[in-house]
């Protein structure tokens, strides 16, 4: 009788917390683990066994080296044997570790987990892991002010937190770390401390290069995302859940205080401190270069980034398993770049997913549901590197990736795959794309820039933070949108063509303004003339200088530094060479490959004040405009 009275409130309660990324109802994950083909069949030996049901919850304030108190939640397997030592999985959370619901909903569940959801805590505690979730400095119920995101102080806090963990009576003195998005990035940042207890790291949808993967892909400001992310974080820091909808305002009391904080004395001080936090969206859109100082923090976007700590991260010797999706903003690019620059990356998994992942984005999938059991895959890695279980994961191929179109999982020890060859498609004045430079129809093509052109409200860019989403990530038939763009289309394909890697485009380009930004789309045109999105690249002409400086890449590198900027002059013809985001995609025989060029992606990117009315693309056998496709031969 009493349980029935709570059914409707409980449903509202579950819906309430759907506004936060990663939240689930807490139901046990029953999705079977996929069996991925490996190079040595039979090596895989399964998982450890679940030994516990349910978990206990504790919360604490723990002091950092400068006496700042950080709020942490600790989840231990229920009925853990006295004296039993277990490994820990650590999450460093910027988005509030847990929420307290208003009465009577707090009688149903307390605390309510947010970014690290119930299903994940239930899953790993059942296998004998402790789970520790921390509000990083200046967030949630933790003391301090945020001077910047991923600050040096925040990174150093990781060492103090690990020291506290391994001093606990339940700790076996081994720690793994993981998380999605910001939490995936802080997981990798933790390795820069080179703490010997940290044995395994699984960054999911993490940020390797804050400038090129998030804030300025291709040097183009992703202003709308920055604004909405800043709005989200400011609200959370102020303990204000109203922006997340009426249910949140009605049912959420707010950030969960630490147990033992009598009369919420510390908590009240904390929220007052957070009023002075750095505003990430203030002034970022006024920046242009990666090494340009933001006057609000006297730091550049380089100072916020994992890539500036490569040597320390690699020197930790901590085993890394990188997990991402082909349609996850520009983060799959960062995932592959990070792998190339860190010798301690042991595994890479890239699926047909967006951020998190939340959705299966393959246009050929029967459902948007992610049917890959990522928790089970993570368990294999943690079991091996934290518990020493010989399950064969260390002998598998480095890369496991999903091929869109043929809808299959594939493995490779190198990226791009070893049997990859570059197929060039040359652009012609008749808007064709030909395979031989001798077949180019020489000349130029003029494009009247349409500033309403967009990749849509459900694009890869919208998936990266919740309040920016307008439904599941989805690319509809682009035939109508292509009418706004300049397109070059190949001849009919006589055979299956699989592109796996990073396409690179070179344009002989001019425009009638003193600045120019180019958006390029790789597309699949079916015999019925429907157009399927494959991938894209963005680039600002100011950054066109190609350089060997910086971290290693598999594509032409641009520094995006102020010293290397080459201001564009109206009417000047220049060569632009830039990468499209990596992908694995199969074009069917009888289809056509199309490259479409735009001057805007409305709703996603800010453009410079100088906006050209016309682009001009020229091509000839002696000086071609072209795209280089990394084609894999089966």
The catalytic residue positions are 181, 328, 355
Would you give the distance in Å from CA 533 to the centre of its chain?
A: 19
Burial of 140 (0-12, 13-18, 19+ CB in 10 A): buried
What is the dihedral sign for C-alpha 594, 597, 598, 603? positive
Query: Is the bond preceding residue 255 a cis peptide, omega within 30 degrees?
Result: no
Residue 421's alpha-carbon distances to 443, 524, 556, 628, in angstroms, are 28, 19, 17, 10
107 is written with which tokens?
Answer: 């009688």
Q: What is the DSSP letter of 631?
A: E
Q: Answer yes or no: are the C-beta atoms of 326 and 205 closer than 8 Å.
A: no
Q: Answer yes or no: are the C-beta atoms of 444 and 618 closer than 8 Å.
A: yes
Tell me the HSE value of 183 on the side-chain side, using a 13 A CA sphere: 29
**What is the C-alpha to C-alpha distance for residues 222 and 230, in angstroms, rounded to an integer?**
12
250 is written with which tokens?
Answer: 């009605």
| Helix, strand, coil percentages for the chain (3-state, nearest 5) | 25, 25, 45
Query: Is the bond preceding residue 111 a cis peptide, omega within 30 degrees?
Result: yes
**What is the C-alpha to C-alpha distance for residues 41 and 417, in angstroms, rounded to an integer?**
20
163 is written with which tokens?
Answer: 């020291």
Residue with tokens 């807490």: 26
Q: What is the largest CA-CA distance in the chain?
A: 82
β-pairing, 130-135 vs 86-93, is parallel
**What is the C-alpha to C-alpha distance for residues 55 and 336, in angstroms, rounded to an integer?**
36
Residue 61's alpha-carbon distances to 25, 74, 119, 161, 560, in angstroms, are 27, 11, 25, 11, 41
Residue 14's alpha-carbon distances to 117, 118, 450, 457, in angstroms, are 12, 11, 43, 26
**What is the C-alpha to C-alpha distance for residues 192 and 285, in angstroms, rounded to an integer?**
29
């Amino acid at each position: 009788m009493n349980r029935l009275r709570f059914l409707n409130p409980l449903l509202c309660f579950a819906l309430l917390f759907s506004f936060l990324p990663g939240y689930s109802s807490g139901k046990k994950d029953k999705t079977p683990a996929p069996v991925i083909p490996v190079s040595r069949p039979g090596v895989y030996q399964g998982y450890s066994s679940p030994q516990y049901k349910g978990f206990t919850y504790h919360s604490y304030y723990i002091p950092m080296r400068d006496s700042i108190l950080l709020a942490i939640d600790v989840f231990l397997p229920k009925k853990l044997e006295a004296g039993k030592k277990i490994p820990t999985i650590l999450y460093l959370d910027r988005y509030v570790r847990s929420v307290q619901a208003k009465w009577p909903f707090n009688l149903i569940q307390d605390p309510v987990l947010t970014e690290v959801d119930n299903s994940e805590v239930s899953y790993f505690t059942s296998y004998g892991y402790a789970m520790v979730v921390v509000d990083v400095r200046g967030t949630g119920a933790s003391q301090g002010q945020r001077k910047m995101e991923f600050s040096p102080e925040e990174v150093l806090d990781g060492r103090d937190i690990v020291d506290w963990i391994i001093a606990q009576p339940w700790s076996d003195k081994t720690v793994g770390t993981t998380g999605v998005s910001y939490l995936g990035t802080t997981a990798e940042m933790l390795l820069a401390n080179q703490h010997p207890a940290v044995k395994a790291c699984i960054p999911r949808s993490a940020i390797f290069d804050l400038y090129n993967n998030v804030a300025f892909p291709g040097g183009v400001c992703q202003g709308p995302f920055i604004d909405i992310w800043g709005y989200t974080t400011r609200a959370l820091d102020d303990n204000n859940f109203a922006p997340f909808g009426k249910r949140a305002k009605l049912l959420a009391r707010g950030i969960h205080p630490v147990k033992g904080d009598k009369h919420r004395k510390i908590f009240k001080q904390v929220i007052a401190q957070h009023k002075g936090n750095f505003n990430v969206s203030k002034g970022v859109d006024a920046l242009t270069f990666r090494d340009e100082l933001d006057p609000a923090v006297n730091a550049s976007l380089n100072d916020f980034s994992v890539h500036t700590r490569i040597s320390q991260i690699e020197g930790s010797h901590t085993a890394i398993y990188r997990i991402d999706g082909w349609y996850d903003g520009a983060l799959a690019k960062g995932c592959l770049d990070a792998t190339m620059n860190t010798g301690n990356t042991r595994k890479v998994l890239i699926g047909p997913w967006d951020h998190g992942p939340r959705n299966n984005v393959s246009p050929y999938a029967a459902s948007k549901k992610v049917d890959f059991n990522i928790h089970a895959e993570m368990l294999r890695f943690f079991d091996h590197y934290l518990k020493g279980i010989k399950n064969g994961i260390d002998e598998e191929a480095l890369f496991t990736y999903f091929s869109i179109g043929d809808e299959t999982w594939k493995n490779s020890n190198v990226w791009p795959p070893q049997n990859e060859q570059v197929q060039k498609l040359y652009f012609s004045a008749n808007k064709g794309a030909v395979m031989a430079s001798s077949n180019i129809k020489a000349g130029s093509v003029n494009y009247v820039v349409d500033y309403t052109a967009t990749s849509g409200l459900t694009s890869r860019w919208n998936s990266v933070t919740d309040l920016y989403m307008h439904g599941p990530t989805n690319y509809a038939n682009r035939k109508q949108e292509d009418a706004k763009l300049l397109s070059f289309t190949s001849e009919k394909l006589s055979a299956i063509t699989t592109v796996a890697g990073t396409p690179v485009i070179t344009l002989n380009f001019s425009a009638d303004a003193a600045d120019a930004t180019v958006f390029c789309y790789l597309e699949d045109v079916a015999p019925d003339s429907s157009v399927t999105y494959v991938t894209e690249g963005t680039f600002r002409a100011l950054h066109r200088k190609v350089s060997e400086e910086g971290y290693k890449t598999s594509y032409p590198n641009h520094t995006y530094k102020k010293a290397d900027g080459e201001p564009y002059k109206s009417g000047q013809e220049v060569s632009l060479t830039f990468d499209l985001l990596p992908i694995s995609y199969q074009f069917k025989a009888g289809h056509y490959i199309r490259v479409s060029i735009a001057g805007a992606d409305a709703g996603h990117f800010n453009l410079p004040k100088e906006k050209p009315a016309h682009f001009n693309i020229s091509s000839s056998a002696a000086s071609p405009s072209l795209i280089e496709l990394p084609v894999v031969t089966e």
